[in-house]
Amino acid sequence: MRIAPLAERPDLVHQVAVWGHGEWGPFDPGSTLESRLAHVRESLNVAQIPITFVALADDGTAVGTAALILDDLEGDPRNPWLASVYVPPAHRKRGIASALVRAVEDAARRIGHRRLYLFTSTAPRLYQSLGWRPLETRDYRGETIQVMDRTL
């Protein structure tokens, strides 16, 4: 497995958008697959935010994704954010999410950021195990989320 910027594999834009829309679309009012596709296409960068990464199996198939974006939590002035970390269920528990998180952290550091933020409703223990620090718990779009940060 290797982690690559989605810009190296633009043929996977649709797959990444489908994953994102399926996982988070219900929590994003007004979101459509088309709007998700547009956001993913905007992240075909390697040295500026937004950047999307894909985890690629040895045969080149996508087995996960994560992004570095400027704003993720509506109304929150902090930035940038680790966002859209997704690994399909059949590929979980193999270290893919951890590798994606590290790739996003490295990209943020290369660009010159010294702190990174995220929010999660499902995986705070994963992020804590990777050195992320809980900052606050709040309700957001009907979910209880944990906002976290990491010094890079």
DSSP 40-61: HHHT--SSSSSEEEEEE-TTS-
Q: 2-151 architecture in CATH?
A: 3-Layer(aba) Sandwich (3.40)
User: In angstroms, rounded to a whole number, what is the distance separating the alpha carbons of residues 124 and 117?
Assistant: 12
User: In angstroms, rounded to a whole number, what is the distance separating the alpha carbons of residues 115 and 144?
Assistant: 23
DSSP category for residue 73: S
pLDDT band of 74, cuts 50, 70, 90: confident
Domain definitions of the chain by residue range? 2-151
pTM (predicted TM-score) = 0.94
Q: pLDDT tens-digit profile of 26-65?
A: 777 788 999 999 999 999 999 999 999 999 999 999 999 9
**In this predicted structure, what is the pLDDT of residue 25?**
80
User: In angstroms, rounded to a whole number, what is the distance separating the alpha carbons of residues 90 and 2?
Assistant: 17
Ranges of beta strands (E only) in 87-141 are 115-120, 133-140
**In this predicted structure, what is the pLDDT of residue 21?**
94
Closest CA relative to residue 116, chosen from 64, 80, 91, 140: 80
**In this predicted structure, what is the pLDDT of residue 30?**
83
- Encode 42-64: b = buried (16+ Cβ within 10 Å), e = exposed: ebbeeeebbbbbbbbeeeeebbb
User: In angstroms, rounded to a whole number, what is the distance separating the alpha carbons of residues 24 and 95?
Assistant: 22
| Residue showing tokens 């009012």 | 29
Residue ranges of alpha helices (H) inside 6-123 are 13-24, 33-42, 96-111
**In this predicted structure, what is the pLDDT of residue 31?**
87
Q: What angle do CA 105, 109, 113 make, to 5 degrees?
A: 110
pLDDT at residue 8 tops 80: yes
